[in-house]
């Protein structure tokens, strides 16, 4: 006997899945926002002439990019409490791991953006009497952020999809809600199809905005 699709399962479970999607978006916005803050400073550190700052920034970026987000999540949720002697709730553990992970990738985006600016811009700023830090703050960084808007949009999309990993620590974002609904209904195909389309509906508009930003920035160059 053929499989019979049930729209009723999706309709009944949609409010629960939508609540999970809301948490997914909240996690992603906070994590990428903090990641941009961390990544901006680390990215500047990655082009710093100070060897100590450069080395620290490089260790951070290489360690985070070289290890899976799932392992980093386990370090914050299971490892850090064992070290500190008190538990860390799922939400803060998820935010910390996702933010630090995002920060490493944003740092590389910022580093590449800074290095894409013509060296003559720095030389011109220094010739006007600016210090290195003033030139970075008022000349290089503003131009850098204009160029890295599309990659930052892609980082947001990637982190939104990667946020599904936090379901392993029982944080009820979209994927975890999907597991709960599947456990109650035993209709895995309908549930995961609905979850997939909810992710698509969240990422597609952002992807279109990124494409639009890329086209506009190319026209302005």
Predicted local distance difference test score (pLDDT) of residue 6:
84
For the domain made up of 10-220, the CATH class stated in words is mainly alpha
**Helix-strand-coil percent breakdown of the chain, rounded to 5?**
85, 0, 15
**How far apart are the two ends of the chain, measured CA to CA in Å?**
61
Residues 6+ apart with CB under 8 A from 16: 177, 180, 181
**Nearest CA-CA partner of 174 in 52, 5, 71, 28:** 28
pLDDT profile of the chain (221 residues), mean per 10: 80 93 95 96 92 96 96 95 91 96 96 88 85 84 84 93 91 92 90 94 90 75 58
CA 9 to chain centroid, in Å, comes to 32
Domain spans of the chain? 10-220
Predicted local distance difference test score (pLDDT) of residue 136:
84
């Amino acid at each position: 006997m053929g499989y019979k699709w049930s729209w009723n399962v999706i309709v009944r479970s949609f409010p629960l899945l939508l609540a999970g999607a809301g948490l997914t978006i909240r996690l992603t916005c906070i994590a990428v926002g903090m990641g941009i803050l961390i990544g901006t400073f680390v990215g500047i550190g990655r082009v710093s002439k100070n060897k100590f700052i450069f080395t620290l920034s490089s260790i951070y970026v290489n360690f985070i990019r070289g290890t899976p987000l799932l392992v980093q999540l386990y370090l914050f949720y299971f490892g850090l409490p064992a070290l500190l002697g008190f538990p860390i709730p799922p939400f803060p553990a998820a935010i910390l791991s996702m933010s630090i992970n995002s920060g490493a990738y944003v740092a590389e985006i910022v580093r590449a953006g800074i290095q894409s600016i013509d060296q003559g811009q720095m030389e011109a700023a220094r010739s006007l009497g600016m210090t290195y830090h003033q030139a970075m703050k008022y000349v290089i960084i503003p131009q850098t952020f204009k160029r890295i808007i599309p990659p930052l949009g892609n980082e947001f999309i990637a982190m939104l999809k990667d946020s599904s990993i936090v379901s392993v620590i029982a944080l009820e974002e979209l994927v975890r809600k999907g597991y709960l609904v599947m456990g109650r209904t035993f209709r895995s195909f309908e549930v995961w199809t609905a979850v997939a389309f909810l992710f698509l509906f969240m990422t597609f508009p952002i992807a279109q905005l990124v494409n639009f930003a890329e086209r506009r920035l190319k026209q302005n160059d």
